[in-house]
Amino acid sequence: ALAGNAATIVNDLYSYTKELDSPGLHLNLPVVIARRDQLCERDAYLKAVEVHNQLMHAFEAAAAEVAAECPLPSVLRFLKGVATWVDGNHDWHRTNTYRYSLPDFW
């Protein structure tokens, strides 16, 4: 669940600029945070990055705990597979510049 949520937020972060340029209201995490917390776009976006990073740290900690408590080859292979999937998801979004780009807040 932690990995899946982090992967979903990666999509929200990378598709943010594309969604802002298209009609209608898009309810990605930065937009929801901006409205809920009454933050400017940049601050809400950076808070969404923090949420993603917290999820990733929680996933890494939970995976390490499971690996230590149950070091079966099948469990270790599963955990490595999930981590690789999360990494691949991020890399796909990062390199698919035709479709995705990060906002220029810096």
Domain-embedded: residue 105: no
Distance in angstroms (rounded) separating the CA atoms of residues 46 and 80: 28
Domain-embedded: residue 102: no
Q: Report the pLDDT value the prediction gives residue 97, as an integer from 0 to 100.
A: 84
CA distances from 42 to 33, 62, 103 (A): 11, 30, 9
Domain-embedded: residue 27: yes
Q: Report the pLDDT value the prediction gives residue 102, as an integer from 0 to 100.
A: 86
Distance in angstroms (rounded) separating the CA atoms of residues 65 and 22: 42
Q: Report the pLDDT value the prediction gives residue 90, as an integer from 0 to 100.
A: 95
Q: Return phi, psi of residue 100, to 5°.
A: -125, 145
Domain-embedded: residue 103: no
Is the CB of residue 52 less than 8 Å from the CB of residue 16?
no
Q: Report the pLDDT value the prediction gives residue 15, as an integer from 0 to 100.
A: 93
Model confidence at 88: pLDDT above 80: yes
DSSP state of 37: H
Q: Report the pLDDT value the prediction gives residue 100, as an integer from 0 to 100.
A: 85
| Residue-averaged pLDDT of the chain | 95
Domain-embedded: residue 104: no
What is the domain extent for residue 51? Answer: 2-95
Domain-embedded: residue 61: yes
- Give the chain's domain count: 1
Q: Between vectors from CA 46 to CA 45 and to CA 51, what angle results, nearest 5°? A: 95
Q: What is the mean pLDDT of residues 39-51?
A: 97
Domain-embedded: residue 37: yes
